[in-house]
Amino acid sequence: MSDLAAEKKHKAPWRENIEALASAIIVALTFKVFFLEVSQIPSGSMQPTLMGNPATDVKDRVLVDKLSYRSRDPKRWEVVVFQHPNMRSLTMVKRLIGMPSEQLRVLDGDLFVRPDSNSAWKILRKPELVQRSTWRKLARAPWGVPEGRVSLAADAALSYAPKGGILDRVLDGYAESLIQPIEAARTYDIKQKGMALYPNEGHANVADLRVEGEFALGSGASALRLEFREGERTYTFVLPGPAGAGEGARVEQRDASGATSVLATAPGKSLAAGAATQVVAQNLDDELVLRVDGAEWLRVDTDHQRDTRSHVRITSSGGASTVDGLALYRDVHYTSERSTTVEFDIPAGHYVMLGDNSPESADGREWQMVEFDVRGPGGVATLRGNLRSTEENPRYARDRDGKERIFLIDEFGDRMDFARADASQKPPYPSPYVPRELIKGRAFSIFWPLRPDLGVYRIGWIR
């Protein structure tokens, strides 16, 4: 009998099972470390791209590609998984916005970039696939967008938010079936805990808007008019109808004084009587775009407006019309009111990450480092960690002898405990940048959850 046969003959079954289990664990760990892993989204900071809502227990599970970044650097607009630079034990999922060695600005809900301080700021526009992920459909309440077929009487305007303006509500973009339980949780928190579920929402006006629907113009209609207000300025897409077919489509601008000018025209473009036509118009990132049945009719740049008060108004001039599938969307509004950093001078080898759900995202705009010089037997040691409000980090308490102590989770995730009398606290400072080495991978697919009871099927690619 050969030595190999003898070894197989005398090997106990339990040993074979242990070896098989150990091999499986090694393969699984190798796969997780180098290739692919699963991450769960715990919060709504990336809504609507990624969902994480405790009130409904809808928490996306995403697949993370850890291999691609071993052969290339991350790209702008990718959704990345990384270690928090101020607390490296914490894994984050955000969208990569700012690139190494450039300057980034958050202003009036928009993003601007430039290569250096000697260059002009340029507005940052998302690629089409990314933009599709970040549009938020405005629900029936409180915006009043109707369902089903809507009749447009001749010269009677259908308006949305004509007074207060459209605001950056957190629930915009959630499925209708999720809004009611989230609102119920909000009411409970206010009544029972004295706190709001989303305290930072609804403070900013949003002017980046999109309206779409299938319009059928009556024979007497001279034009379909889609109006977007932005501060004291109004942009109107004019689509000639059956009674005004010789004019050609155009986009008009009306300023605060009431003066009107034509920004762009599409000669020969008009809407026929009775035919259902898909119309999409948007005012987005200082650019106006009109598409009809998937074809682009108009595209024109506009001047940046600091005033973001907004409304949308739809009018069928000269005759009645109908619209099916009417929908109103808003873009991400990158808020700066809570931000520590609104202009970033990004070092080489570093990135800036922001959340798609800007009012409720604790991202690079807010990150600050808190630092202490602590005296001990071996001299003075400097300890630093991620500054969180409401005494979450650091925390201050008294020991049994009544002496004050400081509890700090440091930048590496270690829990530190020291006497307040031995520590000197420095002023907090912004720490908004993520080093390249802390980026673990790219979130590329949602594979769960499936909630038929809520009409939620969260499966698809992440853009």
pLDDT in tens, the chain (463 residues): 444 444 445 555 555 556 555 555 554 444 455 456 888 888 889 988 998 888 888 899 999 999 999 999 999 999 999 999 999 999 999 999 999 999 999 999 999 999 999 999 999 999 999 999 999 998 776 777 777 889 999 999 988 877 778 988 888 888 888 888 888 887 777 776 666 667 777 778 999 999 999 999 999 999 999 999 999 999 999 999 998 867 899 999 999 999 999 999 999 999 998 889 999 999 999 999 999 999 999 999 999 999 999 999 999 999 999 999 999 999 999 987 778 899 999 999 999 999 999 888 889 999 999 999 999 988 999 999 999 876 789 999 998 888 999 999 999 999 999 999 999 999 999 999 999 999 999 999 998 888 888 888 888 999 9
Residues assigned a catalytic role: 45, 94
Helix residue ranges per DSSP H, 191-315? none
CB 277 within 8 A of CB 314: no
pTM (predicted TM-score): 0.88
b/e code 130-140 from CB counts within 10 Å (16+ = b)? bbebbbbbbbe
Cis peptide bond upstream of 432, omega within 30:
no
Report d(CA 265, CA 370) in Å as an integer: 55
> Phi/psi zone of residue 192: left (φ > 0), alpha (ψ -120 to 50 degrees), beta?
alpha
- Cα torsion 142, 144, 145, 149: sign: positive
H or E element at residue 30: helix 13-34
Contacts of residue 453, Cβ cutoff 8 Å, sequence gap at least 6: none
CB 373 within 8 A of CB 96: no
Max Cα distance, the chain (Å)? 103
What's the token pair of residue 206? 């949003």
